[in-house]
Amino acid sequence: DSGVTQTPKHLITATGQRVTLRCSPRSGDLSVYWYQQSLDQGLQFLIQYYNGEERAKGNILERFSAQQFPDLHSELNLSSLELGDSALYFCASSGPGQGADTQYFGPGTRLTVL
Amino acid sequence: AQSVTQLGSHVSVSEGALVLLRCNYSSSVPPYLFWYVQYPNQGLQLLLKYTSAATLVKGINGFEAEFKKSETSFHLTKPSAHMSDAAEYFCAGGGGSNYKLTFGKGTLLTVNP
């Protein structure tokens, strides 16, 4: 158990819909990262937040957005969903420093878009 | 561009045999290198990490990796495979001021009895 929690574990929805994935980092960690794992693209970095502020952006679509709240939990919002958005979404946390350190991963949320 | 390359998407070994999973990184990858393991339907678990303190890094479950700058490699080894080692293994680079991890495509390890 990494100490990073993600909900829900599974999500099944239809094209065009919007979903929210939730992540709680390890106690004391200030950085939260979101990754997408798909068969064709592998593991891709989406976005990072540090203590509520966006720090780095990767291959995140404009239909996707994220935020980190004062209690440090983070949410990844995916809208206008397409079949190709079906993937495993991982959250990771590290910290407390600003420089990237070891990232600890949550169990992931499996999103299926029908 | 940063890249991490894992040679061999699938490696099959017999129980008790040496495990060797290959990873090469581009010179633009920041100095920290990691190996993660992913068991079916689970998240990624850290096996070990290199942070320049020592070129030979020991991890959990008997795994170790050697950093070779001249070869830009960070191969993962285990002297004797166990059935429980069957999983997918990911090499990743990142760290320092570059926050994101760049992952290789992964290597699926199969252990045959």
Mean pLDDT in residue range B43-48: 92
Mean pLDDT in residue range B38-64: 89
By Cβ distance, the residue of B36, B96, B105 closest to A100 is B96
Pairing of strands A104-105, A109-113: unpaired
| A106/B43 Cβ within 8 A | yes
Within 8 A of B36 by CB-CB distance, chain A residues are 105
Scanning B23-73, the segments in alpha helix (DSSP H) are none
Distance CA A25, CA A61 (A): 23
Mean pLDDT in residue range B44-59: 88
Q: Is the pLDDT score of A99 beyond 50? A: no
pLDDT digits (tens, 9 = 90+) for B3-12: 899 999 999 9
Distance CA B58, CA A84 (A): 38
pLDDT digits (tens, 9 = 90+) for B56-102: 999 999 999 999 988 999 999 999 999 999 999 999 988 655 578 88
Selection from A111, A101, A99, A34 nearest residue A68 by Cα: A34
pLDDT value for B97 = 57
Q: Is the pLDDT score of A69 beyond 60? A: yes
Dig out the tokens for A105 from the structure. Answer: 């991963």
By Cβ distance, the residue of A2, A43, A50 closest to B103 is A43
By Cβ distance, the residue of B36, B43, B96 closest to A99 is B96
| A90/B43 Cβ within 8 A | yes
**Is pLDDT larger for residue B18 or for residue A30?**
B18
Best probe of the B interface among A101, A109, A110, by most B CBs < 10 A, is: A101
pLDDT value for A5 = 96
| A106/B103 Cβ within 8 A | no
Within 8 A of B92 by CB-CB distance, chain A residues are 43
Task: Tell whether B32 is within 8 A of chain A (Cβ).
Answer: yes
Q: Is the pLDDT score of A11 beyond 80? A: yes
pLDDT digits (tens, 9 = 90+) for A38-47: 988 899 999 9
pLDDT value for A100 = 45
Using CA atoms, how far residue A41 sits from A6, A38, B98, B105, in Å, is: 22, 5, 21, 8
Distance CA B37, CA B40 (A): 10
CB neighbours of residue A37 within 10 Å: 20
| A101/B100 Cβ within 8 A | no
CB neighbours of residue A84 within 10 Å: 12
Q: Which of residues 35-94 of B touch A (CB under 8 A)?
A: 36, 42-46, 49, 90, 92, 94
